[in-house]
Amino acid sequence: MKPLEVMGVRVEMPTNQPIVLLRERDGDRYLPIWIGAAEATAIAYVQQGVEPPRPLTHDLIVNVLRDLGHEISAVRIDSLVDNVFFATLVIDGDTEVSARPSDAIAIALRVGAPVFGSTSVLDDAGVHMPEEQEDDVAAFKDFLDSVSPEDFAEGGSEGTE
């Protein structure tokens, strides 16, 4: 398993489909995962420090686990089968629950849990980003700083997740 950093979410044009972009911490690969609008909003909210007036579903899951005395230890992006990504929430270090990557990432960001990607997923779906494309990455980061959760309201299907 390789540690991943959640770079953020954006809308892929021309389909208006949101993606979450992950980056290999000790490498040059990026992992784009197409996600639903609601999950994109949930990820964008936590990255921008937005607190909704009532808990979103991901907040509810975190609250229930915490109130029952459990914690999210890690999130793993385990596999890619027929263009569908599969993830696992690791609870208390040894309990594993299957999840969609977008939901798992939204939960991990809320509790500060690490996100990992399997070598096979990175080999199959990772995109190498040569140094000359670092300007594109900087532009993407600028985009992430200016995007708002409302940019992901209503639109697109759930994608390949």
> Which domains, from first to last, does the chain contain?
2-148 (3.10.690.10)
- 134-146 pLDDT, tens digit per residue, is 566 666 666 565 6
Alpha-carbon torsion (151, 46, 126, 90), positive or negative: negative
Query: What local confidence, expressed as pLDDT, does residue 159 receive?
Result: 46
Q: Is 0.75 topped by the overall pTM?
A: yes
Query: What local confidence, expressed as pLDDT, does residue 160 receive?
Result: 45
- 81-100 pLDDT, tens digit per residue, is 999 999 999 999 999 999 99
Residue 45 pLDDT greater than 80, yes or no: yes
Query: What local confidence, expressed as pLDDT, does residue 149 receive?
Result: 58
Query: What local confidence, expressed as pLDDT, does residue 161 receive?
Result: 47
